[in-house]
Structure formats: C-alpha cells, structure tokens
Amino acid sequence: MATNQDALIGLGRNAAAAVLVLSSLAGGDKHGYALVKDVEEFAGVHLPPGTLYQLLARLEARGLITALQADERRRPYRLTAQGATVLADYIAAQQRILKTGQARLKRSWSLA
C-alpha cells in the first residue's frame, strides 16, 4: 500500500521540485508560467519548462493536482485534497527533522 511519503519519493530527484509546485498551488490555482513566477518569488528557484511540465504530468497522474478547464491556451492547475495531505505530511516530517537538527546543533555545537 503506497503511503503519502511514497507519492513524493516515487518522483526521485524531482521530489524537491514537486514540493515547490505543490506549495505554490496550495496558495491557489495557477497555470504553468504563473507557477514558475510564484516559485521564483517564494523559493528563489527557477523551474525550467521541461522540468515543470514533466512534474505537472507526474503529479497529475498521481492525483496530487488536477488540470482545470483551459482558458484559451492557458490551463490552470489545482491542488487536490490528496495533494494537500501529501504536502502537509511532508512538511510535518521536514519540521521534525528540522527541530531535531536544530536541537542537536545547539546542544553539541552551540549553533542554530
């Protein structure tokens, strides 16, 4: 049985970029170019078009996002309930790692 984490791990090297796309769509529906601009703004990362559309296709196939009716050529994408759950689980797991790392750095190295 696939877990929520598996849905992202299955994307391999693109998992990190997938989190960026899901995080962007968590803020509202967007088409490809608007998505790239949003990710650039909040993460400082530029997603090349080939990578973006490969991700959109895979996320759509996994049911994490859904394509809406195209407005002329622009097709907006929406985060699904399953996509929101996967993103929330991923962020919670990352926060646990972050807290552990920060605590250990503080205790052993007096950093963070």
Residues found near other proteins in the complex (CB under 8 A): 2, 7, 10, 31-33, 36, 48-54, 56-58, 60-63, 70, 72-75
Choose between 49 and 101: whose C-beta lies nearer to other proteins: 49
User: 78 forms bridges with which residues in the sheet?
Assistant: 66
Choose between 3 and 95: whose C-beta lies nearer to other proteins: 3
- CB of residue 21 vs other proteins: minimum separation in angstroms? 14
Q: Which CA distances in Å does 26 have to 1, 72, 88, 90? A: 26, 23, 10, 13
- CB of residue 95 vs other proteins: minimum separation in angstroms? 24
Choose between 48 and 101: whose C-beta lies nearer to other proteins: 48
Three-state secondary-structure class, residue 67: strand
- CB of residue 102 vs other proteins: minimum separation in angstroms? 33
Choose between 33 and 42: whose C-beta lies nearer to other proteins: 33
Question: Are 83 and 59 spatial neighbours (Cβ–Cβ below 8 Å)?
Answer: yes
- CB of residue 15 vs other proteins: minimum separation in angstroms? 14
Three-state secondary-structure class, residue 77: strand
Alpha helices in the chain (DSSP H): 4-9, 15-26, 32-43, 49-61, 81-109
